Amino acid sequence: MQIAFAKAALPKSGILVVPMAEGGALEGLAAALDKALGGGLGRAMEAASFTGKKGQSASLLAPGAGLKRVLLMGIGKAESFTAKLAEELGGAAQAALAKETEATVLADKLAPDLAAHIGLGARLRSYRFDKYRTTEKEDEKPKLASFKILSASAVKSEAAYAPLAAVAEGVELTRNLVTEPANELYPEEFAKRTEALKKLGVKVEIFDKKDLEKLGFGSLLCVGWGSARESRMVVMQWFGASGSSSSEGKKTKKLKNPIAFIGKGVTFDTGGISIKPAAGMEDMKWDMAGAGTVTGLMAALAGRKAKVDAVGLIGLVENMPSGTAIRPGDVVKSYSGQTIEVLNTDAEGRLVLADVLYYAQERFAPKYMVNLATLTGAIIVGLGHEYAGLFSNNDELSEKLLAAGKATGEGLWRMPLAPLGESYDKNLNSDIADVKNIGGGRAGGSITAAQFLQRFVNGKPWAHLDIAGMAWAGKDTAVTPKGATAFGVRLLDQLVRDNFEA
């Protein structure tokens, strides 16, 4: 779907969306439209008891003036209309008009940047993964190809939309990766797809099984022992602050105090020898959503040329049961040198992250580290599908993340972590190794998982986002159709935009 901005002038045909503030009068183009319709707009609002409350809508079919339809949409109090609400408006308009071929939105009384966010919301809501659909009838497909926004300043709106479009592309990349079936997207294939980021200026390094064995990634590699698919790690560097080029054949500078983003990439998780129940196991194709988000984020930062040095690292494995799979009770040596007693092979994501987190801090000395993972079912029990769990050893970073989540609608809820909960950490002490990969039973499972990760961060400012309840939506929401959400891409882009750009 094409998003376009145009000068404020009443269209003479098609579908017109008219946003209305609560208790507000018809102004600008809306007033001109009402006049052209002989007061029809005002009469329709009165007949429908339409007051402009957020979520209200009213539709006028064939109202005149050449228009096919007018859709009134309430935006709530004008002074409370934020970028987030503008995105929700755009998403709602797109969903309501998906069967139409084109739509126009009156935004002449809104700031140009808010008009741009309407466009972002419409684009995010229009996402559709139809790669494997072969028999769908034409009349069942969405038809909305043109979404035009009439702005008080089309030039300013276009300028504001350009970086948002880059973020949308990152979101779409993540959604594509997370939606792919595991027979199509396995560690080697995932790694290959990250190479597309090179055209954006991202330096991409792929570490294969031999590379990881040489490094001593015993914790990550043990997860993939049972799979026919070899494990990988990908490192993606964006030199947005140092100004160095990452093009092939050119010398690059070293990243300067980068922000590091680390993602869990289990392309399919059977649970291994500690095998999961059959019901719902098909969902485990998206156990790589953390890695998908980091990849989409790096594409977004590079696409909008963010003035920040950032590095994205993803550990890619497939967790399968076989004669070569790791067994409960086995002990492995991690990249950090710590030994890990693996008591449950379905607590595998933390094993992947342990090595990648330690490598990230040792090689890049990042200012902050943020990892994302569909790590525990326990976080869904605690927070449902409304918030991702935030665990952090740094209050400043936590506040920045919470603020970014509020701004984008990708909500976080801070959870306990040592030293606030030292007893949780003690549950990870092993009788025969340095640490065991699960704590004391089911209680506090998301917390003990975070405590395990904290043992591999050496006190560096760090946050762990458990996105298990947020990576996949079971129903449509304002800017996200049912399916892969790409949760975290907009959140972390906002974090960078607000706090870390030069």
Instruction: Find tokens 């009384």 and name the residue.
Output: 109
From the list 142, 46, 52, the residue with the least C-alpha distance to 97 is: 142
User: What tokens does 239 get?
Assistant: 């030199």
* Choice among 53, 156, 209, 276 that is catalytic: 276
> How far is the C-alpha of 357 from the C-alpha of 453, rounded, in Å?
8
Amino acid, single-letter form, for residue 3: I
Contact 109, 27 (CB under 8 A): yes
DSSP conformation class of 376: -
The Cα 403–Cα 490 span in angstroms is: 12
Amino acid residing at 480: T
Tell me, yes or no, if 414 is annotated catalytic.
no
| DSSP letter, residue 7 | E
Strand duo 368-373 + 462-466: pairing? parallel
Phi first, then psi: give them for residue 378, nearest 5 degrees. Answer: -65, -30
Six token digits for residue 6: 């145009």
Distances (CA, A) of 219 to 194, 310, 411, 417, 425: 23, 25, 31, 22, 19
The letter for the amino acid at 250 is: K
Catalytic entry in 350, 400, 455, 497: 350
Task: Using DSSP bridges, classify how beta strands 203-207 and 232-239 pair: parallel, antiparallel or unpaired.
Answer: antiparallel
Instruction: Please report, for residues 30, 45, 54, 116, 425, the alpha-carbon distance to residue 25 in angstroms, rounded to integers and kept in the order given.
Output: 9, 11, 16, 23, 59
Active site residue 156: no
Q: Could you tell me if 435 and 350 are in contact, meaning their C-beta atoms sit under 8 angstroms apart?
A: no
* Catalytic sites, residue numbers: 276, 350
